[in-house]
């Protein structure tokens, strides 16, 4: 018995030590309780990586239930908001707590042992202690600064998250976040939404020299159909509507079959000038709509152009990524070439709204920058009158009116034309077919088209010859008959003239438009001197008219620019051969005869930097040519003598250019006329009318312009 008792007493210390060891072992191997800072760090990490499904797992189920938020809804809400704002970067930075900072400050004044002890605590533990709720150890708060990089710029907010400690079934505890809408954006509450709103700029106006609109904002009547109001026989009613508005039944059906259409919706179909709906048309409704408006209509269509909704092709070409399908974009004329200046820059705002869409707060805004107005040197009155002068005869051609003293372009007209307002509101099929079938091509801008200028160019050849001291006003040639060639080397080629006259001097040759005289003068000058003399008049220069897409004129094709062929040199001297000049250049080339030899370049945009006039010929040469051009009008038999009754001392030069594929065939003739007032030089006018065959050639152009010039002189 004693031995048993002895054994038991011997085991007690061992058992006691083992128990102590087991307790110590269990304590040392007990899982460490989760810390709130771990959850906070996970929250920050998942938020910055946009891992919204992982973010969801950190939220307390109770808070999600209260918000009525499933996992799918949670992820969708975050994704929709951040993608709508085009958030590219999310940065969250924890704020150091005030208590922690105070404790650190106090520690700094203690001895080394205390410092060592403090350093033994991690920063995380210090944060935990500082932000632990003293009255409720199961609550924890952490504040952080949120920075969102959106497509509009930076949004910065301060957020506070509240964590709750929850005990799991196995007895362990975890920290979860109480979710609320303000964790997405601080001003959000239950039911609120984030809206990204586009702020559209107002397109700049195009105005004339007096500030009168050439392109501006206007209104139109848009007609459409409300499907549920078509009545019991909708197909029959649609047929009746189509007939009234000159559209196809198929077009209406296509509009009504769009996916967004509902029975009570207004479905826009087209524009109308009517303000009342016939009683017989059921289902039709009218709405007023703001559109781009062109007050001069056809009279300025080629100059101003028009806007249309951006097409897929426009979007594909958009290297800036600016345009969207609903945007309007310039498609022709100045509307196209000055698009960036006129359109302005779109803005946007990001705002928080309530469930009904009412704004609650604005997060960030970038105001739209309205387009800039463009003022032209054009006179609306002259533009309209000159267009009526050209288009009234049903002709195809162009007319350019400028002030030769300052270069201001007063009118630029091209015919036939089109209605730019219809291009905005939409053409009917019948209207489009009519434009397409027009052989005179109404969409061609003939103001910038390059033509062989015919005999109008003889004034420039005369000036070149005078400058080279080859030609003089009284120098004569004895010319026999109506055709001439220099020698047998020309083969069967002859220069022809209309009027038989001999001898002929320079003035006679301009008055009666003698081709042979100027062919003789050019061949005598030789190609080098001739090219040097005429090139000063603006060849190879578009005069800064980029807004009009103006191509530089040419006196010959690239392969023949040396004019080494005397036949080509002779033809070029009277504006044929391979010469091509735009009506704008033709008008510009005559400005030295008004300005004592100085070439004045054309000006279209008010305020645009322009170059100074350049002296290209001497005043004596300019006046010699000008006086000869006056006789084109004043002398009996002059090609523009029909204008001699108009007061003001008109000078001018006519021209007819024949275009044919080969020698011997009947070609197409274009008639030209350039004129200016020598007594009060406030205008210079260059005109071309196509296909004047059998209508008097250039005389037809003179006759068309006479009423305009008569009224112009009366208005002076």
Alpha helix (H) residue ranges in 269-338:
301-304, 312-317, 333-337
Give the span between the Cα atoms of 600 and 559, in whole angstroms: 30
**Is there a contact between 264 and 390 (Cβ–Cβ < 8 Å)?**
no
Start-to-end CA distance of the chain, whole Å, equals 149
Active site residues: 455
What's the longest Cα–Cα distance across the chain? 168
In which residue are the tokens 């019948």 written?
430
Q: Which long-range contacts (CB under 8 A, 24 or more apart) does 259-266 make?
A: 261/227, 262/227, 263/226, 263/227, 263/228, 264/226, 264/227, 264/228, 265/226, 265/227, 266/224, 266/225, 266/226
3 state DSSP class of 714: helix
Token pair listed for 126: 């210090």
3-state secondary structure 439-491: CCCCCCCCCCCCECCHHHHHHHHHHHHHHCCCCCCCCEECCCCCEECCCHHHC
Contacts of 509 (CB under 8 A, 6+ apart): 458, 462, 517, 518
**Is there a contact between 596 and 623 (Cβ–Cβ < 8 Å)?**
yes
**Is there a contact between 133 and 122 (Cβ–Cβ < 8 Å)?**
no
Give the span between the Cα atoms of 687 and 472, in whole angstroms: 28
252-287 burial, b at 16+ Cβ within 10 Å, e below that, comes to beebbeeeeeeeeebbebbbbeeeebeeebbbbeee
Give the span between the Cα atoms of 412 and 702, in whole angstroms: 18
**Is there a contact between 195 and 186 (Cβ–Cβ < 8 Å)?**
no
Give the span between the Cα atoms of 598 and 617, in whole angstroms: 7
- How many C-beta atoms surround the C-beta of residue 415 within 10 A? 27
Give the span between the Cα atoms of 340 and 334, in whole angstroms: 11
Integer angstrom CA distances of residue 432 from 247, 253, 288, 429, 633: 12, 20, 24, 5, 43
Give the span between the Cα atoms of 179 and 181, in whole angstroms: 7
328 torsion bin: left (phi>0), alpha (psi -120 to 50), beta (else): beta
**Is there a contact between 249 and 239 (Cβ–Cβ < 8 Å)?**
yes
Instruction: Calculate helix-pair angle for 566-573, 515-525, nearest 10 degrees.
Output: 130
**Is there a contact between 668 and 694 (Cβ–Cβ < 8 Å)?**
no
Q: How far is CA 68 from the centre of its chain?
A: 48
In which residue are the tokens 């969409």 written?
443
């Amino acid at each position: 018995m004693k031995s048993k008792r002895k054994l038991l007493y011997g085991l007690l210390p061992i058992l006691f030590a083992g128990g102590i060891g087991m307790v110590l072992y269990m304590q040392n191997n007990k899982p460490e309780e989760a810390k709130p800072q771990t959850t906070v760090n996970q929250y920050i990490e998942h938020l910055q990586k946009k891992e919204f499904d992982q973010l969801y797992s950190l939220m307390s189920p109770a808070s999600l239930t209260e918000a009525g938020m499933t996992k799918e809804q949670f992820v969708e809400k975050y994704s929709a908001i951040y993608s709508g704002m085009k958030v590219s970067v999310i940065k969250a930075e924890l704020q150091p707590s005030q208590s922690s900072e105070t404790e650190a400050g106090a520690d700094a004044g203690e001895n080394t042992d205390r410092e060592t002890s403090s350093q033994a605590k991690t920063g995380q533990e210090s944060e935990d202690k500082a932000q632990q709720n003293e009255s409720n150890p199961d609550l924890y708060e952490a504040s952080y600064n949120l920075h969102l990089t959106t497509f509009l710029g930076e949004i910065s907010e301060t957020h506070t998250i509240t964590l709750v400690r929850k005990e799991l079934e196995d007895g362990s505890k975890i920290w979860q976040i109480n979710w609320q809408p303000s964790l997405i954006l601080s001003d959000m509450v239950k039911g609120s939404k984030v809206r990204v709103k586009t702020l559209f700029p107002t397109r700049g106006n195009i105005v004339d020299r007096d500030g009168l609109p050439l392109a501006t904002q206007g209104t139109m009547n848009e007609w459409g159909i409300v499907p549920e109001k078509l009545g019991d026989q909708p197909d029959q009613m649609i047929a009746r509507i189509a007939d009234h508005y000159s559209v196809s039944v198929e077009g209406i059906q296509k509009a009504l079959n769009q996916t967004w259409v509902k029975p009570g919706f207004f479905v826009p179909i087209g524009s109308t000038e009517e303000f009342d709906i016939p009683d017989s048309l059921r289902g039709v409704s009218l709405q007023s709509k703001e559109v781009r408006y062109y007050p001069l209509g056809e009279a300025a269509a080629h100059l101003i152009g028009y806007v249309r909704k951006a097409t897929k092709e426009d979007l594909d070409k958009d290297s800036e990524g600016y345009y969207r399908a609903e945007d309007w974009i310039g498609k022709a004329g100045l509307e196209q070439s000055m698009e960036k200046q006129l359109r302005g820059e779109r803005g946007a705002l990001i705002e928080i709204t309530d469930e009904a869409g009412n704004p609650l707060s604005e997060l960030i805004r970038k105001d739209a920058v309205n387009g800039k107005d463009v003022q032209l040197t054009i006179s609306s009155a002259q533009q309209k009158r000159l267009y009526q002068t050209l288009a009234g005869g049903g002709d195809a051609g162009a007319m350019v009116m400028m002030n030769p003293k300052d270069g201001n372009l007063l009118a630029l007209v091209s015919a036939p034309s089109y209605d730019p307002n219809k291009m905005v509101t939409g053409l009917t099929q019948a209207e489009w077919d009519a434009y397409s079938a027009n052989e005179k091509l109404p969409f061609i801008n003939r103001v910038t088209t390059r033509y062989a200028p015919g005999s109008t160019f003889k004034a420039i050849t005369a000036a070149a010859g005078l400058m080279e001291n080859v030609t003089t006003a009284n120098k004569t040639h004895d010319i026999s008959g109506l055709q001439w060639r220099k020698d047998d080397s020309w083969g069967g080629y002859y220069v022809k003239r209309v009027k038989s006259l001999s001898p002929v001097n320079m003035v006679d040759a301009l008055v009666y438009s003698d081709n042979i005289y100027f062919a003789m003068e050019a061949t005598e000058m030789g190609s080098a001197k001739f090219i040097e003399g005429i090139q000063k008049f603006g060849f190879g220069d578009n005069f800064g008219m980029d807004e009009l897409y103006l191509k530089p004129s040419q006196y010959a094709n690239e392969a023949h620019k040396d004019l080494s062929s005397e036949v080509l040199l002779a033809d070029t001297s009277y504006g044929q051969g391979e010469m091509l000049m735009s009506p704008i250049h033709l008008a510009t080339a005559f400005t030295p005869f008004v300005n004592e030899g100085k070439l004045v370049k054309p000006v279209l945009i008010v305020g645009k930097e322009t170059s100074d006039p350049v002296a290209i010929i001497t005043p004596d040469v300019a006046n010699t040519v000008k006086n000869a051009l006056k006789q084109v009008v004043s002398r009996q038999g002059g090609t523009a003598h029909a204008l001699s009754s108009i007061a003001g001392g008109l000078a001018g030069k006519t021209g007819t250019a024949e275009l044919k594929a080969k020698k011997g065939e009947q070609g197409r003739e274009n008639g030209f006329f350039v004129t200016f007032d020598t007594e009060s030089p406030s205008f210079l006018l260059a005109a071309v009318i196509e296909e004047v065959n059998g209508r008097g050639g250039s005389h037809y152009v003179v006759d068309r312009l006479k009423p305009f010039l008569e009224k112009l002189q009366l208005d002076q």
